[in-house]
Amino acid sequence: MSVEPTAPTAADQTTSDPAPLVPTDTPVTIREIAEFLRHLTDLRVSGRDADPDARAAFGHRKTELFTRLAADPSTPASPPAAERHTP
């Protein structure tokens, strides 16, 4: 079993480079969420053998995005567990 990285296949190629999230005081946009989800999909397609730098970049992006969402007062909070309805 080889531990050397292999070249990406056509299915592994991203449609665009993920734009880095820049910390701002502005609310998270739908476009940023869409880019985050596209980045997640790219990593899923690449599988566990994805580039470690790409995984690290995704982790940073996720942390930054979620931090901005948590800091945004317009982001709705989940109701307490006792108030959630279960089917």
For residue 23, the one-letter residue type is P
Q: Which residues contact 68 (CB under 8 A, 6 or more apart)?
A: 21, 23, 24, 27, 28
pLDDT tier for residue 82 given thresholds of 50, 70 and 90:
low
Of residues 70 and 24, which shows the higher confidence score?
Answer: 70
Spatial separation of the C-alpha atoms in residues 66 and 80, rounded to whole Å: 19
**pLDDT tier, 69 (very low <50, low <70, confident <90, very high otherwise):** confident
In a domain, 12, yes or no: no
Q: How many domains does the chain have?
A: 1
Sequence-ordered strand ranges (E) for the chain: none
User: How far is 51 from 40, CA to CA, in rounded Å?
Assistant: 13
Q: Which of 18, 57, 23 is nearest to 39 (CA)?
A: 18
pTM: 0.55
pLDDT tens, 8-66?
555 555 555 555 555 556 788 899 999 999 988 888 888 777 788 888 888 999 998 88
Domain that holds residue 39: 19-70
Residue 58 lies in a domain: yes
The more confidently predicted of residues 78 and 86 is 78
